[in-house]
Amino acid sequence: MGSPLLLGPMLRYVDETSASIWVETRADCLVSVHVGGRSWKARSFTVHGHHYALVEVDRLEPGSVSPYQVQVDGVLVWPEPASGYPAPVIATRAPGRPSRIAYGSCRTSVAHDKSGNRTHGVDSLRAFALAVADAREARPDLLIFLGDQVYADSTTKEMQAFIRARRDIRKEPGKELKDFEEYAHLYRLAWSDDANRWLLSCVPSAMIFDDHDIRDDWNASLDWKQKMEATTWWHERIVAGLASYWVYQHLGNLSPRERAADEMWQQISRRREGASLDLTAALDEFADRCDKHPNSYRWSYSRDFDDTRLIVLDSRVSRDLTPSSRGLLNGRELEWFDSRMQGGFRHVLVATSLPFLLPLGLHHVEAWDEAIAQGAWGRLAAWVGERLRRAFDLEHWAAFQNSFQAVADIATELADGERGAAPQTVTFLSGDVHFSYLAEVERQEGSRIVQAVCSPMRNPLPRFMRWFSVVMSYGAATPLGAAAAHSAKVPDPPFRWRTVKGPWFDNNLALLRDGSDGLRMTWHRGVVEDGDELHPRLEQVASITVPAVRHSTVSSSAADPSEASIRTSGE
């Protein structure tokens, strides 16, 4: 029989004095974490026959780096015997230390051999993990996954083999995921790789879903949702998708205080000490309610790292699909976001899986498509607009103009100092589009408003789709898209922006560092050398510095970088 530890340990929420460690185990058990001569423990809970635990470690020293061990029923399970990786550690936040954050999105789970690297490219996360393990790259303070960690609708051969072993894959939903059991297997495929598993055991992580965690175009429109609900399989999928997301991703996003207030966690914490708990029915009911009544629960969250505020936005469940009040954020979610966008920070980071600032051409096209799908050109055009929306994934912020305009106003007020002392930057961190770039709003003074995209981590676009993306986003698409948007009476954006760097299409992981000279962002890919597919070298693709001080309008010139210019290099 194998190890009693199936998945993890994953180091999730960490602050100055506490840490949360998540595991999936083979059976109901007592999980304990040991640091020095102290230990903390938690009883597992059960969901659909799977067993999980989250151990809350507290009373740690700020700025400390502590090796730790995990035991299941008194048996050492982590670190594994004869592991070739350094000892896992808990590194608590050090007050006053600048933040160092890694982020990315869109990662498929296939083998890291020659075949997998040929079809899906080298996994940038694995290349980064190996570089950290070898001390060629510093361990970040946080790793943010901006959606599509798992693909429930576009499954690999390994996942399809699991599906075939338990049901007829020729019947709906076919090769797509059906239930919680299949989600559990998909997460195991995503997080079992040795290098990435080690990385996730010693780097804190924050996560948010995007559409493929459930299904392509998830909640793109009311028409899309009604068509899904009319199928025989959708209800089981959405309940399993949200329930598994709460267990595998969301639970670890929460601080101890937020977790104590969470209705599902309260059922876990209230049980009698040592007693077993099956959370299946309660969690399924909760997931069903979250889908039907998005206002009943908030998946978004925020964290403060000294003078940096990170706001992580749910841009999927919280949508308002009512045609008369359509919004990417519903009223309750927008009100919460508005309350978090306050001054007094050096940097405000808004992590949203969908880019807030698309390339201008694509922004105009999506805004135009929303307008005609809503009936601006009549019923026939509305039918065409809805089909275009789904065929070309035209459902980003630009396709929800009510939300885009509201968030743009909020970001501008913050950058202008109308919400307290203005930060140096308001930076949107995003993924989803399968190419990376950096854009900046054209402003003469005040804080910089920046969009930094890193996508994919491992799921590159086919080459013909790369060409299509560039044509749709840049060049003639900008004036043509603007003309189409005007013809449908779409209001102009409250500001203009332009791409400073990009696009590029590598599998990438981005690093963000706060320094005295400003916000430095680098993008990195994995490169196979001498046929060693399992040990790719980490290579920098691009480097961009958003300066701390603004003296004049933005410039992208790398040949004559001034203190006011975004400085770029590499690629």
User: Residue 400 in contact with residue 370, Cβ under 8 Å?
Assistant: yes
Q: Which amino acid is at 27?
A: A
Q: CA-CA distances (angstroms) from residue 365 to 395, 439, 472, 481? A: 11, 18, 8, 5
Phi, psi dihedral angles at 131 (to 5 degrees): -65, -40
35 membership: H or E segment, kind and range: strand 30-35
Asked if residue 239 lies in contact with residue 284, where contact means CB atoms within 8 angstroms, the answer is yes
The pLDDT value recorded for residue 560 is: 35
pLDDT, position 12: 98
Count CB-CB contacts under 10 A for residue 219.
Answer: 23
Residue 492 CB contacts under 8 Å (≥ 6 apart), including other chains:
none
* CB-based contact 28:101 (threshold 8 Å): no
Average pLDDT, 10 consecutive residues per value, the chain (571 residues): 92 98 98 97 98 98 97 97 94 92 96 95 98 97 97 97 97 98 98 97 98 97 97 98 98 97 96 90 98 97 95 97 95 98 97 97 95 95 95 95 98 97 97 97 94 97 82 77 88 94 96 92 97 96 86 37 57 48
Distance CA(374)–CA(383), nearest Å, equals 9
What residues are paired with 434 via a beta bridge?
none
Checking DSSP bridges between strand 509-515 and strand 497-504, what pairing results, if any? unpaired
**pLDDT recorded at residue 550:** 59
| Per-residue confidence (pLDDT) for residue 1, from 0 to 100 | 67
In contact, 367 and 357? CB cutoff 8 Å: no
pLDDT of residue 561: 33
Task: Compute the distance between CA of residue 87 and CA of residue 133 in angstroms, rounded to an integer.
Answer: 10
Please report where in the chains the tokens 């570089």 appear, as a residue.
Answer: 131
Map tokens 């940097």 to a residue: 347
CA pair distance 449, 446, nearest whole angstrom: 9
Question: What spatial distance separates the first Cα and last Cα of the chain, rounded to whole Å?
Answer: 48
**How many angstroms separate the CA atoms of 452 and 445, rounded?**
20
Contact status, residue 522 vs residue 543, Cβ threshold 8 Å: yes
Contacts (Cβ under 8 Å, ≥6 apart) of 1: 26
E-strand stretches of 240-374? 301-305, 308-313, 347-352
Here the tokens at position 165 are: 């072993």
Q: CA–CA separation, 72 vs 28, rounded Å?
A: 10
- Collapse the DSSP code of 362 into the 3-class scheme (helix H, G, I; strand E, B; otherwise coil) and give the result: helix
Asked whether 423 and 348 are in contact (CB, 8 A), the reply is: yes
Cα–Cα distance, 20 to 255 (Å, whole number): 8
Rounded to 5 degrees, φ, ψ at 445 are -155, 175
Task: Decide: 428 and 397 in contact? Cβ < 8 Å.
Answer: no
